[in-house]
Amino acid sequence: MKLLLLILKNIRRNLLRSTLTSLGVLVLVFVVTLIWSVLWFLDLVTAERSRNFKGIVSERWRMPSQMPFSYATTLEEGAAREPGDVRPEDSMTWQFFGGSFEPDPRKRTRDNTIFGIALEPAKLGTMMDELDQLPADKAAPLLEAIAGLEGRPNGIIMGRTQLQRTGKQIGDRFTLYGLNYRDINLEFEVVGTFPEGRYDNTVAFHRHYLLAALDAYQQARKRPHPLADKTLNLVWLKVPDRAAFDRLGAQITSSPLYASPAVKFETASSGIATFLEAYRDLLWGMRWLLAPAILATLALVISNAISISVRERRTEMAVLKVLGFRPAQILLLVLGEAVLLGGLSGLVSSSATYILINHAFGGLKFPIAFFPAFFIPEAAIWWGLAVGAGTALAGSLVPAWNTRSVRVADVFAKVA
Amino acid sequence: MDTVDGYIVRVRRVHRFFRRGSERVDVLNDLTLDVPHGEFLGLMGPSGSGKTTLLNLIAGLDQPSAGEVWVGQELVSAMSESQLARWRTRHVGFVFQFYHLLPVLTAFENVELPLLLLPLSAKQRRQQVLNALDLVGLNERVRHRPGQLSGGEQQRVGIARAIVTDPLLIVADEPTGDLDARSAAEILDILGELRRALDKTILMVTHDPHAAERADRVLHLEKGRLVEQPGGAG
Amino acid sequence: MYVSSVLLWMLLAALAASALLVWLGRIPIQYNLRNLVVRWKTTLLTALAFTAVIALLTVMMAFVNGMYQLTATSGQPGNLIILSDGVTDEVFSNIAFADAGDIEIDERIVREDGQPLCSHETYLVVNQPILHPQPGRPLRRFLQIRGVDNPEISARVHGLELLPGGAWFGTGVRDLPQAGGDASPPQSAIEVVLGEGIARELGRDRDRQQLASARHPQRLDVGDTFELNARQWLVVGVMNSAGSTFDSEVWGKRALLGPMFGKETYTSLVLRTADAAAAREAKRYFSEDFQKAAVQPLVETEYFASLNDTNRQFLVGVVFVTIVMAVGGVFGVMNTMFAAISQRIRDIGVLRLLGYQRWRILISFVLESLFLALLGGAVGALLGGLCDGVTANSVVSAGPGGGKFVVLRMVVGADTLALGLLLSLAMGFLGGLIPALSAMRLKPLDALR
């Protein structure tokens, strides 16, 4: 305890230096937290799970997948045809619809365009990551929005960022003029929004609405829409374990129902990993160049400050030795000073980053694949403590070790 | 010659006090002093008597709380800080107890420092520095740094620096305080020689009676007031 | 958008200003430099922090520069891309075969030997299983395939040439020699030409035996094969395409590849006009006057410029990270300079006493900080500069729903190095200014006590 008090006093003795060091740690831990949060999330979504995960059915060769909707019925059953065949625990179909608020094609821009997903409303609450595990207070508004979708054929749920970007709010009506579905224009009414976070950029509506529009097109023009048999983009299947996944995969890929186009069945994490492959050099750079360089800079900043501090206090350390402090105790004093300063600063930084990024900025917007934003995980709060303390320890080892070389005779000879 | 009636320093009814919290500490009280040109004046007194304060006022490092300080024909006590800085470069040379040389510069470079503020060419500066070092007997050590010189040699560099601009006045604050007897005697010899050969006026604060003996006149300060005492060989 | 050469001038101006300050300050510069040497450990630690920040900045800017260069050099000024109306990316475009005839008769299109320089293209992204995936790496990759009707014309339109030893495909199919000799039935392979980047990527799929007998160990070369869609694909040429988005593409006969992957339309027509002005005029025509089909014309250079959207976001990210790291570095150098000043208070007192004004003291310590910064920053810029020419994967896109996977070459130009040095100087200046201001406020007598 007394050692701790001494450490605190030492930190206070040169408040300017301690503040500058602390500020340096604060900003550098901030950046490291951001970088590791992005990498942590990408590692999470690409990590192969062994239980309770989802697989994706998509075209075997072409991207984006454009399968006929007739595939959906049997795929939702896992292409089960023999007794004993495995069926998925749950399923979800996705059809991508891109539309613009602007009827004149020449005036269409990114800003007046949105991409939405046509699906079964109930699946939003059972098949979407994180939405299937919401606490009661956040689940209630979502359930209400889902009920809105089911109750209104032209209902649409928009994430908060999309609402903000398009200037819409719940209750508004608008028309989307089809981009990928040429000549299919859909009128929507906003019935709800997603909980703040991962789905801020997501837009979803009832798949029946799109299918009905395609039917109406055929009736009106006496021919099917060019995308009529290419409307199904992805099918998600929930499986309990690896064995079930492998069985389902075999059932699907061996089924004669999916010949043209052929399909493949892969885990969601594998599918995402393929998309991320294009970013592999960028992510490698972030993981093995950027983050280590920042950690090294952190260690250097602290090492510099502690070295200066030790050099200025050689006489004081000689006095401590005269009073009976052992070299190891003096070493611990110096290390303790660094670790306390670095650890506390790191903890404050990562906590502030968590609050700032997640709640003030609505996530870190960094363009990697189809992820609109990244969030700081709760665990990151402890990263700051660990990084700050760890780099402080590494940076202060040498200056702290050098205190052992302080010789009482030399120091007092100079002073005399 | 930059004197008035033969006096190079005239101090008129100078007061200097300092504030320590709410307390006022009077260091110099109604002090009047004249120093003729070419005099070697010693200032002695117990600690806190005000001798260093008086030296600082004359050298333009401090301003009196009241009164006037004239050096040559300049009213030093009325100058602004930037005027004093310029004036000091040309008119005052300083010699300190602890030499106060810049440790990373050589003897040559230390002596050259004041000349860098004057409009001289590199050749002119070099000549003046070498002359000054020659006067103090250090022309063999021009490239050495203070850490490579003895205490006496460092003080000689300090003296060379003090005279290199050919100032009106040399002020020395305990110039032998950190030296052994032999080195101290050498330094005092140099100061005496400067006075004789270059007609310099020297003001020296000292606790050392041997140093005081070298002065033409020794003044004692006690509680901020002057008491005169006859000097030594001079 | 590159970082402009204004930076070079700014750097020169900053260095000239520093030299002027040395002269103005009058305090010998060796005073500062030797003090840096005397306190070499602190100098080293502080300089290394600068080295880390500037090296990182240089590498990150090299990556962004590479992306900008890629999009800048991928387009021909006189080319006009025709996509179907309203699409955000080539991959979603559908142009009927019949419409191509109506489009390419336009008189603004350059002709050679009576044939319009019009490239008929079907762009596809295909999922390819990787035969020998490395541990922890994905099991599949996305291949960017471009089916063209006439490869020579398409190459002429895009300004592409083949590396020596290659040839363009003819019918698009070739029989492969069989191991069993003439008795075994021939196996046919799809003829393709690869961009150099994708040739390197596919080359990594080879096993040790194949590598041992490979003509070119770093990449696939003429005569090599790979598997896709249960067919063998034969490399008949490799494009000299480094620095363009075509570097990551596989080119083959459209008539084969389109039906193979279910795309029965063109995705784009690329028309060569006389020059940029003619391309803009043709764009106006196809936007406003052409009625035979609903198309979206884009001047090719503008199209590739629009792919800079990702680049801009990366650049924002780079700027953000750099600024934050620089702020951290500034606090570090501030610590160093405060300590330096506190150790040299007596020196400051002597200088003030000798007549050196406050502002000269300020200049001296700011210069010391600048030298420290320049030392660390120069080493950092040199280290970061080693990544020049290194290839890296990335994606360029104009927004959501689409994008091209590209192989870029990182570019470290003189202006990138200048940016690094300027940032270093700025950090040094900011980090040294406040301590120097505190130094100049010291009174001579107080400093000497």
Query: Which residue is listed with tokens 């004249």?
Result: B34
Chain centroid to Cα B67, Å, comes to: 21
Got the DSSP string for A210-266?
HHHHHHHHHHHHSS--TTTTS-B-EEEEEEEEHHHHHHHHHHHHH-GGGBTTBEEEE
**Cβ proximity of C170 and C214 under 8 Å:** no
Cβ pairs bridging A and C (under 8 Å): 189
Assess whether chains A and B touch, using the rule of 3 or more C-beta pairs within 8 angstroms. Answer: no
Q: Which residue of B has its CA nearest to C352?
A: B85
Tens-digit pLDDT profile for residues A160-202 = 989 988 999 999 999 999 988 988 999 999 999 998 888 888 9
Q: Provide the residue type at C97 as one letter.
A: F
pLDDT at residue C183 greater than cutoff 70 = no
pLDDT of residue A186: 96
Tell me which chain A residues have a C-beta less than 8 angstroms from the C-beta of C86: 100, 105, 108, 179, 182
Task: Pull the structure tokens for residue A404.
Answer: 């052992």
- Summarize the confidence of residues B120-134 as an average pLDDT: 95
Tell me which chain C residues have a C-beta less than 8 angstroms from the C-beta of B102: 31, 347, 350-351
pLDDT at residue B233 greater than cutoff 60 = no
Cβ pairs bridging B and C (under 8 Å): 58
Query: Closest partner residue to C448 among B87, B100, B109, by Cβ?
Result: B100
pLDDT at residue A148 greater than cutoff 80 = yes
Please judge whether C49 and A304 are an interchain contact, meaning their C-beta atoms are less than 8 angstroms apart.
yes
Tens-digit pLDDT profile for residues C343-368 = 899 999 999 999 999 999 999 999 99
pLDDT of residue C399: 60
Q: Which residue of C has its CA nearest to A230?
A: C262
ipTM of the complex model: 0.88
Distance from CA of C350 to the nearest CA of B (A): 7
Residues contacting residue B169 through CB under 8 Å, at least 6 positions apart: B8, B9, B58, B59, B71, B91, B92, B93, B200, B201, B202, B203
Q: Provide the residue type at B181 as one letter.
A: A
Q: Which residue of C has its CA nearest to B109?
A: C28
CA distance C223 to C236: 6
**Residue A108 — φ and ψ, nearest 5°?**
-80, 135
- Summarize the confidence of residues C172-198 as an average pLDDT: 81
pLDDT greater at residue C185 or residue A281? A281
- Summarize the confidence of residues C34-61 as an average pLDDT: 92
Please judge whether B117 and C350 are an interchain contact, meaning their C-beta atoms are less than 8 angstroms apart.
no
CA distance C326 to C422: 12
Tell me which chain C residues have a C-beta less than 8 angstroms from the C-beta of A298: 328
Distance from CA of A180 to the nearest CA of C (A): 7
Q: Provide the residue type at B136 as one letter.
A: V
Query: Closest partner residue to B116 among C26, C35, C346, by Cβ?
Result: C26
Tell me which chain C residues have a C-beta less than 8 angstroms from the C-beta of B87: 355
CB of B114 within 8 Å of any CB in chain C? Answer: yes
Please judge whether A312 and C339 are an interchain contact, meaning their C-beta atoms are less than 8 angstroms apart.
yes
pLDDT of residue B165: 93
CB atoms within 10 A of CB B157: 26
Strand A155-158 relative to strand A185-192, pairing:
parallel
pLDDT of residue A413: 58
pLDDT of residue A67: 94
CA distance A205 to A208: 9
CA geometry: angle at C199 spanning C193 and C204, to 5°? 145
CB of B94 within 8 Å of any CB in chain C? Answer: yes
Q: What is the largest CA-CA distance in chain B?
A: 54
Distance from CA of B233 to the nearest CA of C (A): 31
Q: Is B44 helix (H, G, I), strand (E, B) or coil?
A: strand
Chains that touch B (3 or more CB pairs under 8 A): C
Task: Pull the structure tokens for residue C232.
Answer: 């063998």
**Helix orientation angle between A314-322 and A327-355, rounded to the nearest 10 degrees:** 130
CB of A28 within 8 Å of any CB in chain C? Answer: yes
Confidence of residue B85 (pLDDT cuts 50, 70, 90): confident
Chains that touch A (3 or more CB pairs under 8 A): C
Tens-digit pLDDT profile for residues A61-76 = 888 899 999 999 999 9
CA distance B29 to B50: 9
pTM of the model: 0.84
pLDDT of residue B201: 93
pLDDT of residue C13: 93
CB of B99 within 8 Å of any CB in chain C? Answer: no
Tens-digit pLDDT profile for residues B8-38 = 999 999 999 988 888 888 899 899 999 999 9
Poorest-confidence range of B143-152, C211-220, C401-410? C401-410
Task: Pull the structure tokens for residue C54.
Answer: 């500037």
Task: Pull the structure tokens for residue A162.
Answer: 């999309």
Please judge whether C138 and A17 are an interchain contact, meaning their C-beta atoms are less than 8 angstroms apart.
no
For the CA atoms of chain B, what is the radius of gyration? 17
pLDDT of residue C245: 86
pLDDT at residue A302 greater than cutoff 60 = yes
CA distance B184 to B206: 12
Chains that touch C (3 or more CB pairs under 8 A): A, B
**Residue B50 — φ and ψ, nearest 5°?**
105, 10
Q: Provide the residue type at C434 as one letter.
A: I
CA distance C64 to C49: 23
- Summarize the confidence of residues B201-228 as an average pLDDT: 88
Confidence of residue C181 (pLDDT cuts 50, 70, 90): low
Q: Which residue of A has its CA nearest to C127?
A: A61
- Summarize the confidence of residues B106-131 as an average pLDDT: 95
- Summarize the confidence of residues B196-221 as an average pLDDT: 90
pLDDT at residue C1 greater than cutoff 50 = no
- Summarize the confidence of residues C415-437 as an average pLDDT: 94
CB of A101 within 8 Å of any CB in chain C? Answer: no
Query: Closest partner residue to C34 among B96, B104, B161, by Cβ?
Result: B104
CB of C434 within 8 Å of any CB in chain A? Answer: no
Assess whether chains C and B touch, using the rule of 3 or more C-beta pairs within 8 angstroms. Answer: yes
Q: Which of C228, C331, C433 to mutate to test the interface with A (most CBs of A within 10 A)?
A: C331
CB of B96 within 8 Å of any CB in chain C? Answer: yes
CB of A412 within 8 Å of any CB in chain C? Answer: no
Q: Which ranges of A267-326 would DSSP assign to H, the alpha helix? A: 268-276, 280-285, 291-312, 314-322
Q: Taking the C-alpha atoms of C207, C213, C216 and C217 in order, what is their torsion angle to the nearest 10 degrees?
A: 40
Q: Which residue of A has its CA nearest to C89?
A: A180
Please judge whether C34 and B56 are an interchain contact, meaning their C-beta atoms are less than 8 angstroms apart.
no
As a whole-number percent, the residues of chain A with pLDDT over 90 amount to 54
Q: Which ranges of B45-150 would DSSP assign to H, the alpha helix? A: 51-58, 81-91, 107-112, 122-135
Average pLDDT, chain B: 89
Please judge whether C350 and B100 are an interchain contact, meaning their C-beta atoms are less than 8 angstroms apart.
yes
CB of C356 within 8 Å of any CB in chain B? Answer: yes
Stretch 208-237 of chain C: residues touching chain A, C-beta under 8 Å? 228-229
CB atoms within 10 A of CB A154: 16
- Summarize the confidence of residues C266-295 as an average pLDDT: 92
Assess whether chains A and C touch, using the rule of 3 or more C-beta pairs within 8 angstroms. Answer: yes
pLDDT of residue C444: 84
Which has the closest alpha carbon to C437: C343, C355, C363?
C363
pLDDT at residue A50 greater than cutoff 60 = yes
CA distance B211 to B189: 10
Tell me which chain A residues have a C-beta less than 8 angstroms from the C-beta of C287: 106
Q: Is A53 helix (H, G, I), strand (E, B) or coil?
A: strand
Confidence of residue A252 (pLDDT cuts 50, 70, 90): very high
pLDDT of residue C400: 57
Q: Is B51 helix (H, G, I), strand (E, B) or coil?
A: helix
Query: Closest partner residue to C139 among A100, A105, A270, by Cβ?
Result: A270
pLDDT at residue C78 greater than cutoff 50 = yes
Query: Closest partner residue to C35 among B104, B113, B161, by Cβ?
Result: B104
Please judge whether C335 and A31 are an interchain contact, meaning their C-beta atoms are less than 8 angstroms apart.
no
